[in-house]
Amino acid sequence: MACALLLSLGTLTPSARAKPAVASVTSSAPQLVEVSPAKGSMLVAAWQARAANANTLQTVPDGKTGTKLKVLAVSGAERIRRANRKQQYERFQACAAAVAGAGDAGAAKLFATVGGCASTLCLVEVDEDEWSVKSLCVSPDARELPSVAEAEEAALQGLRGLCAGSGGRLRVASEVEASLVGSRQSLGLTATSEDGELGEGGGRMGAAEAVHDALRSRRTINDFSPQLPAGWEEALERAVEAATFAPNHKRTEPWRFHLLGPRSIRRVCELNAELVTASKGDAAGAKKLERWLAIPGWLVVTCVRREGGDSMEEPAGLAREDYAAVCCATQNLCLSLHADGLGTKWTSGPVNFDPRFAGAVGLPDDEYVVGTVWFGAAAGEKAPPAPAKRLAVGDVLRQSD
Q: Name the 3-class secondary structure at 191.
A: coil
58 part of a folded domain: yes
Distance CA(29)–CA(27), nearest Å, equals 5
Percent of the chain with pLDDT over 70: 70
Domain endpoint, select from 216, 247, 263: 216
On whether residue 387 sits in a domain, the answer given is no
Examine the pLDDT at 121 and tell me if it is beyond 90: no
Q: β-strands 57-61, 68-72: how paired? A: antiparallel
Banded pLDDT at 377 (limits 50, 70, 90): very high
- Find residue 376's DSSP bridge partners: 343
Domain assignment present for residue 388? The answer is: no
Query: Would you say residue 282 has pLDDT above 70?
Result: yes
Q: Tell me the pLDDT of the chain averaged across its residues.
A: 77
Note whether 306 and 322 are within 8 A (CB): yes
Q: Helices 232-243 and 76-101, interaxial angle, to 10°?
A: 80
Indicate if 138 and 257 belong to the same structural domain: no
**pLDDT for position 19:** 38
Confidence of residue 135 (pLDDT cuts 50, 70, 90): confident
Mind listing the pLDDT tens digit for each residue in 301-360? 999 998 777 778 888 788 899 999 999 999 999 999 998 889 999 999 999 999 999 999
95-99, 147-151, 233-237, 316-320: which range is least confident on average? Answer: 95-99
- d(CA 217, CA 258) in angstroms, rounded, equals 26
| Domain total in the chain | 2
Which one of 163, 183, 216 terminates a domain? Answer: 216
**In a 3-state reduction of DSSP, which class is residue 162?**
helix
pLDDT class of 22 with cuts at 50, 70, 90: very low
CA distance linking residue 171 with residue 203, whole number of Å: 8
Burial bucket for residue 396 (CB in 10 Å: 0-12, 13-18, 19+): exposed
List the domain range (segments joined by +) for residue 142.
Answer: 2-216
Per-residue pLDDT, 196: 34
Q: 330 or 210: whose pLDDT is higher?
A: 330
Specify whether 303 is located in the same domain as 180.
no
C-beta neighbour count of 105 within 10 angstroms: 15
240 and 134 in a single domain? The answer is no
Between 335 and 388, the higher pLDDT residue? 335
Question: What CATH number is associated with residue 336?
Answer: 3.40.109.10
Query: Looking at 156, 188, 216, which one is the last position of a domain?
Result: 216
For the ranges 14-18, 88-92, 307-311, which has the lowest average pLDDT? 14-18
Report yes or no on whether pTM surpasses 0.75: no
pLDDT tops 70 at residue 249: yes
| Helix, coil or strand: residue 62 | coil
The least confident of 12-21, 267-276, 287-296, 342-351 is 12-21
Q: Taking the alpha carbons of 25, 28, 32, 34 in that order, is the dihedral positive or negative? A: positive
CA distance 264 to 276: 18
pLDDT for res 67: 60
Of the listed ranges 29-38, 312-321, 377-386, the least confidently predicted one is 29-38
- At position 291, the amino acid (one-letter code) is R
Given a cut of 90, is residue 5 above it in pLDDT? no
> 218: Cβ–Cβ under 8 A, 6 or more apart, which residues?
334, 335, 338, 344
The mean per-residue pLDDT over the stretch 285-304 comes to: 96
Q: Are residues 300 and 202 in the same domain?
A: no
Same domain, 161 and 115: yes
The more confidently predicted of residues 352 and 200 is 352
Taking residues 56-64, report their average pLDDT: 54
| Shared-domain flag, residues 202 and 332 | no
Tell me, what's the pLDDT at 292?
96
Whether residue 183 has pLDDT greater than 90: no
Q: In terms of C-beta density within 10 A (0-12 exposed, 13-18 middle, 19 or more buried), how is residue 326 classed? A: buried
Strand 2-8 to 367-376 pairing: unpaired
Tell me: do 195 and 267 sit in the same domain: no
Question: Is residue 255 located within the same domain as residue 203?
Answer: no
Q: Both 40 and 88 in a single domain?
A: yes
28 pLDDT band (50/70/90 cuts)? low
Residue 194's pLDDT is what? Answer: 33
Residue 109, helix vs strand vs coil: coil
Please enumerate in sequence order all residues whose Cβ is within 8 A of that of 170, keeping only pairs 6 or more positions apart, or say none.
131, 132, 133, 156, 159, 160, 163, 200, 201
In a domain, 319, yes or no: yes
Least confident of 68-82, 207-221, 332-346: 68-82
- Does residue 115 belong to any structural domain of this protein? yes
Same domain, 228 and 357: yes
11 has a pLDDT exceeding 50: no
Residue 124 in this model has a pLDDT that exceeds 70: yes
